[in-house]
């Protein structure tokens, strides 16, 4: 998977589609939880009063995912998003319903995934990707720059640390 397009500092569309798919997997997991509301999260606020907040993070994630999709997509794209991702319709049904041929359908799906992936990653003040940060796990204060030399050293170290298979 290419990370950057032809030497530019702009990630390619496949990165944004992967971000969308990761967020959508969590959305499906949380939405299909059934009647169980999930765990109530107690969050400490580090403001001057120091009070605590109670929240249902999984339900908030599902709602934020749907609202982000509605805001980021055009009405036509949102209608296709709703049919494919929220209602689970297949290509033939969507093509008949919306008057799209097979190629236009898949181009539109890829465009929706790319657009929404970018929007979910760049959402302010709380992006939905990475999901662990949204859920209150690890919080990265700043992005860490990693050089290609550091990546190569890490790859070599991983290869060296593998244990041989024994009979």
Contact 38, 56 (CB under 8 A): yes
pTM: 0.67
Output the pLDDT for position 167: 47
CA 152 to each of CA 1, 7, 91, 107, 155: distance values in angstroms, whole numbers, following the listed order: 17, 19, 42, 35, 5
Output the pLDDT for position 83: 93
Start-to-end CA distance of the chain, whole Å, equals 35
Output the pLDDT for position 146: 59
CB within 8 Å of 52: residues ≥ 6 apart: 42, 43, 44, 45
Task: Provide the residue-wise pLDDT of the chain in tens; the chain has 167 residues.
Answer: 345 455 556 778 888 899 999 999 988 888 887 666 666 666 666 666 666 666 778 888 888 899 999 999 999 999 999 999 988 888 899 889 889 899 999 999 999 999 999 998 888 887 878 877 767 755 455 555 556 666 677 666 655 545 555 54
Output the pLDDT for position 1: 39
Output the pLDDT for position 26: 87
């Amino acid at each position: 998977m290419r990370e950057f397009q032809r030497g530019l500092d702009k990630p390619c569309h496949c990165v944004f589609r992967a971000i969308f798919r990761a967020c959508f997997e969590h959305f499906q997991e949380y939405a299909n939880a059934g009647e169980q509301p999930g765990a109530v999260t107690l969050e400490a606020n580090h403001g001057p009063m120091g009070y605590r907040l109670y929240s249902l993070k999984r339900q908030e994630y599902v709602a934020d995912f749907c609202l982000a999709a509605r805001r980021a997509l055009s009405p036509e794209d949102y209608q296709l998003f709703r049919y494919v991702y929220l209602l689970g319709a297949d290509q033939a049904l969507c093509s008949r319903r919306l008057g799209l041929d097979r190629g236009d359908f898949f181009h539109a799906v890829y465009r929706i995934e790319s657009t929404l992936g970018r929007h979910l990653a760049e959402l302010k003040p709380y992006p939905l990707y990475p999901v662990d940060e949204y859920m209150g796990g690890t919080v990265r204060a700043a992005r860490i720059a990693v050089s290609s030399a550091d990546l190569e050293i890490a790859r070599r170290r991983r290869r060296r640390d593998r244990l041989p298979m024994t009979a």
